[in-house]
Amino acid sequence: MAEFGKICIYRMMHINNVAHVLQFGITHASSPNANIFYEPIGDSSLINSRSHFKMPNGKTLGTYIPFYFGTRMPMLYVIQNGFNMVQALGAEKIVYCVSTVQRMIDHNLPFVFTDGHAVDGFTAFFDNKDIQNIINLIDKTAIDAKYWKQENDNDLKRRKEAEFLVETDIPPEAISYWIVYNEVAKKELLNKGIPENLIFIKPNCYF
């Protein structure tokens, strides 16, 4: 049986959004508690395409809050380097908000998860009835791979970007801890009121 408390899920965000998360949790744009000062990161064209992408359950991908199952994702590389017309953002301005599958279950949050990048045609979607088999449905070796280009594995990048998708707002209590790039970022989170034991400096989670 999967140990859901050991299956971490990671959401990247701009450090300026942390204060709102501490008060209201991670919220949808349509939520009554939405962050009107939200600072997006990432590829706006991809974000827009997700808002129109229909999932097998008939719902729109953009109505879910996405997490990855690991760090150092291709999108982070794009964000840090400013590729694909994305404005480059320094690593110390990017934080990981970390939770676990167990916390999502404990808070009774509706979710689906995938075995790869959600908008890829080869990707399969799963829901709570499949959760007991999650460790066999996602490829943790691909997720943890340092790089995503391999001569004999053209599907590695898709599998690395497997997603955990939450349909509702996520309360602050569902957050386990935070990952930051350096001491500067850690100090900023401390100033926002996050306890020091919940902030981890992990530069190897960045590029």
Is residue 207 very low, low, confident or very high in pLDDT (cuts 50, 70, 90)?
very high
Pairing of strands 177-180, 94-100: antiparallel
pLDDT digits (tens, 9 = 90+) for 137-194: 999 999 999 999 988 999 999 999 999 999 999 999 999 999 999 999 999 999 999 9
The CA distance from 123 to 143, in Å, is: 14
pTM of the model: 0.96
Q: Give the containing element (helix H, strand E) for 98.
A: strand 94-100
Residue 21, pLDDT above cutoff 80: yes
Residue 160's pLDDT is 98
The CA distance from 144 to 94, in Å, is: 19
The CA distance from 170 to 77, in Å, is: 26
Q: Pull the structure tokens for residue 19.
A: 């204060």
Q: Cβ contacts of residue 151 below 8 Å, gap of 6+?
A: none
Span 46-75, mean pLDDT? 94
Q: Which residue matches tokens 């064209």? A: 45
Contact 26, 98 (CB under 8 A): no
**In 3D, which of 26, 43, 67 has the Cα closest to residue 162?**
67
